[in-house]
Amino acid sequence: MLTILHNPRCSKSRQALELLQQHQAELTVIDYQKTPLSKAELASVLVKLGIPARALLRNKEDAYKALQLDNPALSDDALIEAMLSHPKLMERPVVFDKDRAVIGRPPEQVLELLA
């Protein structure tokens, strides 16, 4: 069973979802802007991705600049809190199972989880 953190307004997210559906993946779709993750859930996704919180940030978002998230002194915890408060800051889509996760950029990257 896979879970996709999906933003229906994002073309890459829609493409990744369509690819998974074409491959008939068992899938849970979470619109993470309407159903935000908990801090523990987001931390778990980062562990599965194997990346620090900063690597999941969209640095072109207005909130990124407004919150001065380019400050290298900010901890992962502070960056996670920023993403929880402003879900648009999260890179998307993110697809994960119980052990692994990938960011669907390019969308075809989500197919790695089907192997």
Phi, psi of 96 (to 5 degrees): -145, 160
Residues taking part in catalysis = 10
- Calculate the CA 69 to chain-centre distance: 17
Q: What DSSP string describes 36-100?
A: PPPHHHHHHHHHHHT--GGGGB-TTSHHHHHTTTT-TT--HHHHHHHHHH-GGGB-S-EEE-SS-
